[in-house]
Each structure stands twice: as structure tokens, then as C-alpha cells.
Amino acid sequence: MGMVSRVGQVGWLGGVLRMGRVGRLILTLLLVLIVAPSALAVQTAPPGQSEYVPIKDLPLTDQIPAAPLLIAAYAFVWIAVLFYLWTIWRRLGKVEDEMRTLAQKTTRR
């Protein structure tokens, strides 16, 4: 009677204290396994968003301005078309010149 009543009075703490070394080690490991992930989650949680975010803190894709890239893309297409047209015109001019020169040489003969 005496032993049972004393355990009941001391409660779960008394039970823990009376555990062997191995028992206490297992309990500690269990506590660490349960508490550690929660503690890590709290540490890695993103800070609360305030209304103002400096531009340097934005993701890279949000920091890059879109307009210069868009203008560059459209400008390149037109420059390429105009350059290609110019090369055709220049080559056509050369061929016509050569044909004229050749025709003159032939008539001189």
C-alpha cells in the first residue's frame, strides 16, 4: 500500500525519475525528435510581408525591367530584315554591274 500510494502522490515525474538511464535516454531522444522539426520550422518561416519591399530584395526575375528587353527583341527583328534586304539589293547591284561589264566586253570583240 505504502509504495503504490507514494508513486500516485509523486505522479509521472516520479516515474521518470525512477526510470533507468536507458529509459531516460530514449525519452530525451523522443522529445528531441518531436520538438526539433517544429523549432526548425519556426526558424525557417518567412518573415511577415510588410507593405514596402526594396527592389534589391525582390526575386531576380522581378528585378529585371521588361521594356528594354521587349524593345531590343522587336528592334532586332526589324534590323535583321532591313539588313537582309540591303544585302540582297547590294548583291543584285553587283550582278547587274558585272553583266553590263561583260556585255561591253562582248560588243568590243
Partner 1 sequence: MRKAFAPLLVLAAAMFAAAPYFIAQAPYESTMGLIQKIMYFHVPSWIGMYSAILVCGVASGLYLFRNNQAADRYAVSAAELAVMFGLMGLVTGPLWGRKAWGVWWEWDVRLTSALLLELVFVAYLLVRKYGGPGAEKLAAATALFGFAVAPFVYKSVDIWRTVHPKTSVVPTLPKVMGGPLALTALAFVLLFLVLLTLRVRLAERQAVLDELYLAHED
Burial of 22 (0-12, 13-18, 19+ CB in 10 A): exposed
Region 37-96 residues binding partner 1, contact defined as CB under 8 A: 59-61, 64, 66-67, 69-70, 72-74, 76-77, 80-81, 84-85, 88, 91-92, 95-96
Q: How far apart are CA 32 and CA 26, in angstroms?
A: 10
Q: Which is nearer to partner 1, 3 or 60 (CB)?
A: 60
Q: How far apart are CA 14 and CA 74, in angstroms?
A: 79
Given the rule CB under 8 A, which residues bind partner 1?
59-61, 64, 66-67, 69-70, 72-74, 76-77, 80-81, 84-85, 88, 91-92, 95-96, 98-99, 102-103, 105-106
